[in-house]
Amino acid sequence: MRYAYYTLTFLVVLMLSVMGFRGMRSTLPPLEVFPDMDRQAHYKPQAGSKFFADGRTDRPTPAGTVPRGRSETGEADPAFLRADDAHYLGKNADGSFVTGFPIAVSETLVKRGQDRFMIYCAPCHGAVGDGNGITKQYGMVATPTFHDDRLRQMAVGELYQTITNGKNTMQSYGDKLVPDDRWAVVAYVRALQRAQHGSINDVPLEQRGELK
């Protein structure tokens, strides 16, 4: 029984000691049982070191290393740096939107644009770009048609920017479509616009007989 009292007294003293120091300021660093490498020895920039034979902490670049964003010849890589504003921003040097495509437009590009359009754009804008997508049946009535004169005359760079950053209630698709895919979608939108307002005169003579 005596040991039980001793144990109880020890626990009370221990508890009072711990609780009594709570909230008190100390100039000593806190006790850390598991520091988890929070504080590690490190060199200051351009400091000396006795560990390396040349006495420097800064280590030279290994031979043959190619910096990120540069080619093997040392020239800047525009694709990595995205230094081409027309390609990656849809804008000219003066800040205006480009009116021509900064990449080559081909059948492959347009088909790629059709594929991306059907995934990301058609639910709202409709398969033919008339604004009658499936979302309209669920209350989204503000989706514009691409066949409106305002959008038909809009610079391709502005269409690209809209895909990149979004506009009004349209969210950004910059995180879903890489730059070339955005241009592919713009190319397909232009194809839809051309098809909607095309006439028999746009069809080559040798192919008109195939029309029904």
Q: What is the pLDDT along the chain (212 residues), one digit of tens a residue?
A: 677 777 888 888 777 776 666 666 778 777 777 877 777 778 888 888 888 899 988 888 888 777 666 655 656 666 677 878 999 999 999 999 999 999 999 999 999 999 999 999 999 999 999 999 998 888 887 888 999 999 999 999 999 999 999 998 899 999 999 999 999 999 999 999 998 887 888 788 888 887 76
- What local confidence, expressed as pLDDT, does residue 71 receive? 59
Give the residue among 137, 192, 134 at the shortest CA–CA distance from 159: 192
Give the residue among 202, 204, 146 at the shortest CA–CA distance from 170: 146
- What local confidence, expressed as pLDDT, does residue 88 receive? 93
**Domains of the chain, residue spans:** 103-198
CA angle, 86 then 89 then 95, to 5°? 75
Domain at 103-198, CATH homologous superfamily: Cytochrome c-like domain (1.10.760.10)
pTM score: 0.64
First to last CA, the chain: 108
For 164, the enclosing helix (H) or strand (E) is: helix 156-165
- What local confidence, expressed as pLDDT, does residue 77 receive? 65
Q: Kindly give, in sequence order, each residue whose CB lies less than 8 Å from that of residue 179, ignoring residues fewer than 6 positions away.
A: 82, 87, 88
Alpha carbon 141 to its chain's center: 28
Q: Kindly give, in sequence order, each residue whose CB lies less than 8 Å from that of residue 176, ignoring residues fewer than 6 positions away.
A: 120
Give the residue among 148, 147, 144, 149 at the shortest CA–CA distance from 162: 144
- What local confidence, expressed as pLDDT, does residue 174 receive? 93
- Write b or e for each residue in 98-131: b if 16 or more Cβ atoms lie within 10 A of its Cβ, otherwise e: beebbeebeeebbebbbebbeebbbebbbeebbb
DSSP 8-state class, residue 76: B
